[in-house]
């Protein structure tokens, strides 16, 4: 089920929760940036495409959208991409060469409707300039977040996500421990290479975000986090490099789970 809330005067969040049995909830967010050239940031999950379109219509008339910023091509980000492109011929997709290449394997993007921006590159859309940024952690080579100079918001894609037991609309409502533990765990699951990162090099990546000093961080997998949380979010990511690597349930655990499901169905 999708809900919407306002994170800033001109930014709407479209949010859903994905339960991971035994681990918690992963918030899944997309965003609408209103203004003279409205932008949809990601397009929800494949399995909830209908609900996503309903939630989108509640915050904007889809023909009013000018751009989709596709942070990356995972199934929790491309759910309504094709539908929106089919229904709204004015829409163009901001992505990378790799984003186009990966989409070619599933639902090719029309090249005349693609705008490529690499990390460090900029695009001006009406009264705002978006600067593409590769976030410190990511799970897909096409990942590109961005900084919006008008709102001061950093859209971080999967970076700064967290597994949570409850999902408020504001990350400040989470206890320090829940936020930190949830973030560290998510980073070990979603970016399992984080343990291999050189700690000095990784700290420099975190410093890039520290210097950016965004008003707010909007992650695809965390409630909205305003500036006073940035240091905590960065500290949790630094901890992830030495945290216990994630190992998923094995076949024996799956069989136990299936047994339990069969018993409860009887």
> Which chain residues interact with Fe ion by CB under 5 A?
74, 76, 139, 158, 220
Give the number of other Cβ atoms within 10 Å of residue 51's Cβ.
17
Q: How far is the CB of 215 from Fe ion (least distance, A)?
A: 22
| Nearer Cβ to Fe ion (72/92) | 72
| Nearer Cβ to Fe ion (156/220) | 220
Q: How far is the CB of 191 from Fe ion (least distance, A)?
A: 9
Q: How far is the CB of 26 from Fe ion (least distance, A)?
A: 8
| Nearer Cβ to Fe ion (92/221) | 221
Q: Which helix (H) or strand (E) holds 153?
A: strand 153-157
Where helices occur in 13-87 by DSSP H, the ranges are 49-59, 81-87
| Nearer Cβ to Fe ion (48/76) | 76
Q: Which residue is nearest to Fe ion (CB)?
A: 74
Q: How far is the CB of 16 from Fe ion (least distance, A)?
A: 12
Question: For the sheet containing 145-148, what is the strand order?
Answer: 122-125, 128-133, 145-148, 153-157, 216-219, 225-226
Residues 99 and 73 sit within 8 Å (Cβ to Cβ): yes
Residues 246 and 195 sit within 8 Å (Cβ to Cβ): no
Look-up of token digits 């990390």: 119
Q: How far is the CB of 11 from Fe ion (least distance, A)?
A: 18
* Cα 112 to Cα 94: distance, rounded to the nearest angstrom: 11
| Nearer Cβ to Fe ion (76/181) | 76
């Amino acid at each position: 089920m999708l809900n919407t809330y306002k994170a800033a005067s001109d930014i709407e969040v479209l949010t859903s929760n994905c339960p991971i049995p035994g681990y918690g909830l992963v918030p899944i967010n997309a965003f609408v940036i209103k203004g003279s050239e409205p932008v949809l940031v990601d397009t929800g999950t494949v399995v909830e495409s209908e609900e996503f379109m309903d939630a989108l219509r509640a915050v904007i008339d889809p023909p009013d959208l000018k751009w989709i910023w596709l942070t990356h091509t995972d199934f929790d980000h491309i759910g309504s991409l094709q539908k929106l492109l089919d229904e709204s011929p004015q829409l163009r997709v901001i992505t990378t060469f790799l984003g186009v290449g990966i989409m070619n394997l599933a639902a090719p993007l029309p090249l005349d409707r693609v705008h490529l921006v690499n990390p460090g590159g900029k695009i001006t859309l009406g009264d705002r300039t978006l600067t593409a940024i590769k976030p410190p952690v990511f799970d897909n080579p096409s990942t590109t977040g961005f900084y919006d100079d008008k709102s001061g918001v950093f859209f971080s894609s999967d970076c700064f996500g967290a597994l949570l037991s409850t999902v408020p609309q504001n990350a400040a409502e989470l206890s320090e421990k829940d936020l930190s533990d949830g973030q560290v765990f998510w980073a070990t699951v979603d970016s399992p290479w984080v343990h291999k990162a050189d700690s000095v090099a990784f700290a420099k990546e975190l410093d890039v975000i520290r210097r950016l000093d965004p008003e707010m961080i909007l992650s695809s997998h965390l409630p909205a986090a305003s500036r006073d949380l940035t240091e905590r979010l960065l500290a949790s990511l630094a901890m992830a490099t030495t945290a216990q690597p994630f190992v998923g349930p094995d076949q024996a655990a799956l069989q136990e789970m299936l047994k339990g499901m069969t018993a409860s169905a009887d």
